[in-house]
Amino acid sequence: MTAPLLEVDDLHTTFRTPRGAMRAVDGVSLSLAAGETLGIVGESGSGKSVLGRTIMGLITNGPTTEVTGSVRLAGVDVHGVKPAGRRELWGTTVAMVFQDPMTSLNPVKRVGLHLTESLRLHKGLSKGAARERAVELLRQVGIPEPARRAGQYPHELSGGMRQRVVIAMALACDPQLLIADEPTTALDVTVQKQILDLLQSLAERLHMATILVSHDLGTVAGRTDRVAVMYAGRVAESAGTDAVFGTPRHPYSQALIESIPSIESRPHSLLATIEGSPPNMLAPPAGCRFAARCRYAVDRCRVEAPALEPRGAAAGSVVACHFPLTAPLHHQHQEVGA
Amino acid sequence: MTRKLALRVGELVLVLLIVSLGVFSLMALLPGDPAVAILGAGQPPEAYADLREQLGLDEPTFSRYLDWLVSAAQGDLGRSVVPPQSEVVDRIVSALPVSLQIAVMGLVMAMLIAVPVAMWSAYHEGGMVDRLISAGTFALLSVPSFLAGLLLIMLVVDGTGWFPRSEWVRLGEGDLLGNLHHAFLPALTVALAELAMFARVLRGDLITTLREDFILAARAKGMPPLRVLFSDALRPSSFSLVTLMGLSLGRLIGSTVIVEYLFSLPGMGSLVVNAANQGDFPMVQGAVLVIAVLYVLINAGIDLSYGYLDPRTRRAHV
Ligand SMILES: Nc1ncnc2c1ncn2[C@@H]1O[C@H](COP(=O)(O)OP(=O)(O)O)[C@@H](O)[C@H]1O
Ligand code: SF4
Ligand SMILES: [Mg+2]
């Protein structure tokens, strides 16, 4: 068996802030094979973006940041190499699609230049060849009249079109791994599905490994091979996507699934939202981080942190809970007036 | 598009008219009676009256303004009333290039220093060098420009003899090197006075820009840091800087008097000050008009440049 494309081992990202150490990512391990897709799901603030950026090396050790543990990407120790070595990975081995297409394109640069500059840098293409390739990429991501669009400025495009440009930009130099950090959160509902479908079909066609980050478990449903559910800087549960939806083993996964609006539910149905709020990561609790909000919590949970272990389930499936759930989940929504 | 352009030009003409009116009425603000200033005190009253008539001062103010304006529009600003009564335009044509050169060279030098300094500072925000630079620019801000000039003269002109102190060499009279040699220190004095503000303003705007997502996106594409700074961060960060530069250029053309005095430069500042002291009202009016018109035009140019700096404003402007 060959080494996986991505191996993250006990990764910690801590920000030194005036109020103390902010442990945004607090011991995450995961691995991804070439061409595989992984969903990372968790509430806002659970450390998904910081994890994605630390995996890529955009966040690394610095005056106010401490990264420990390791990230190996295509055989390169991302946090061990010199900055120039990291930059060689960016665009070519790993690329990122950001959350807000309104802000992730430079307002003073034409759409085409966003693509041609990396083509010229990484692939050494001539001006003309880069322009041709850029138009081709724009066509690939479903932008009509790509040649004309290439000459426009970002503000002349709609949000959905801009996100397509951002995707084209990420694909420009054929990365082996694409990290899409909430690529549809800032978009209209009608456009969200189109963008997710596009990402999925591109990943399959280009045999590109993908990490799809979302605060909404519904987004990754049916789109990724595996899901890692994140809570307060740690992985709560990681398993095949179908397994997580069918038999969630972590109470937090269960709660997340219950909060997905289902198609059958009436417009006025009340979603089961998760009560309470995530722990303060400046001073995380000693035991299980979910204990304060967990309906199954007992005294042991509050003192002893559960390790991320298989606990009897199929290989590749791990959960961080002392009392993993076993029964399949029945979708239940309370309905107003029902 | 053409309508907007026409509107804009109309606006500019209106501003220039108001400016000219203001400049013309300056004469009323000049101390004393021009006739007395020119002839000296103790002459018979008829002599003053004759001179006033000769100068056209006895006509109604508004018709004098119109006459002056029409001639000015044709490039005639009248004659100096002080011997040798030279053409005002000739004197301006000889003084303006000196001031323009010092101002432009000074600003270019200020930019050459301020831009890299601001970039370094912003890129390493909060670091040791950033804090040193911030302290340095703050100190520089509080140094009056003549002090910098005096220090430069003492240290460099008198101390080393590398730079000449007097005998300005005109631009375009063959000796370009000699001209630059002379212009260097006065321009540096101007640069020292301006660069601190430039660096501080640009640093602040760069820090804001560097936090933008599109900077992270550019880095994530593997663009080298210097490339990201120059090609992604600088342009969106340069609005305030460009505005400030336009204001500085307009201001400097007429107000480098102190620097002109220190380095014996025959520029616009000394021209205006000398003329004002001698009650030479056509000279003051002409020189101030030229300075004011340049100021207005420069800032109109700056306005236009916003469209280049940010394509999003293009529809709103012209
Ligand atoms: N540069 C930083 N300095 C300090 N705290 C940060 C920094 N970046 C992110 N954080 C904090 O880390 C936590 C995780 O953030 P993030 O990864 O953006 O969450 P998510 O993407 O899951 O919504 C948040 O509490 C956030 O405030
Ligand atoms: S360890 Fe205890 S508190 Fe934590 S999720 Fe499991 S049951 Fe709930
Ligand atoms: Mg995020």
Answer positive or negative: Cα dihedral of A75, A79, A80, A86. positive
| Domain containing residue B55 | 2-73
| B101, B55: one domain | no
**E strands along A154-233, which residues?**
177-181, 209-214, 226-231
Give the CATH number for residue B105: 1.10.3720.10
Tell me: do B109 and B159 sit in the same domain. yes
A59 lines ligand 1 (CB under 6 A): no
Residue B107 to chain A, least CA–CA distance (Å): 25
Is B259 part of a structural domain of the chain? Answer: yes
Q: Are residues B67 and B198 in the same domain?
A: no
Q: Identify the band that residue A272 occupies on the pLDDT scale cut at 50, 70 and 90.
A: low
Q: Rounded to an integer, what distance in angstroms lies between the CA atom of residue B140 and that of residue B191?
A: 11
Q: What is the ipTM of this complex?
A: 0.89
Tell me the shortest Cα–Cα distance from A115 to chain B, in angstroms: 10
Task: Answer yes or no: do B43 and B109 share one domain.
Answer: no
Domain(s) labelled CATH 3.40.50.300 in chain A stretch across 6-224
> Both B106 and B46 in a single domain?
no
Percent of all residues in chain B with a pLDDT value above 70, rounded to a whole number: 94
Give domain status of residue B21, yes or no.
yes
A92 touches chain B (CB under 8 A): yes
Whether A25 shows a pLDDT value over 90: the answer reads: yes
Does residue B171 fall inside a structural domain? yes
Quote the Cα angle for B51-B52-B53, to 5°: 90
A166 and B CB contact within 8 Å: yes
Distance B238 CA to ligand 3 centre (A): 29
**Can you give the pLDDT at residue B317?**
41
Touching check for A117 and chain B: CB below 8 Å? yes
Residue A150's pLDDT is 96
Q: Are residues B143 and B26 in the same domain?
A: no
C-alpha separations of B101 from B12, B122, B235, B267 in Å: 25, 31, 26, 10
Same domain, B150 and B253: yes
Classified by CATH at the fold level, domain A6-224 comes out as: Rossmann fold (3.40.50)
Judge contact between B30 and B278, C-beta under 8 A.
no
Amino acid at A25: V
In this structure, are B67 and B107 located in the same domain? no
Tell me the per-residue pLDDT of A220-248, one tens digit each, with 9 for 90 and over.
Answer: 988 999 999 999 999 999 999 999 988 89
Residue A238 vs residues A27, A41, B110, B136: alpha-carbon distances, Å: 14, 10, 57, 54
Q: Residue A338: what pLDDT?
A: 30
Q: Based on the structure, what is the number of domains in chain B?
A: 2
Residue B216 shares a structural domain with residue B182: yes
In a domain, B312, yes or no: no
Average pLDDT over residues B159-186: 74
User: Which secondary-structure segment (H or E) carries A132?
Assistant: helix A127-140
Q: Is the CB of A24 under 6 A from ligand 1?
A: yes
What separation in Å is there between the alpha carbon of A112 and the centre of ligand 1? Answer: 32
Based on the domain organization, do B42 and B111 belong to the same domain? Answer: no
In a domain, B50, yes or no: yes
Query: Based on the domain organization, do B228 and B164 belong to the same domain?
Result: yes
Same domain, B115 and B153: yes
Quick: pLDDT tens for A80-94: 999 999 999 999 999
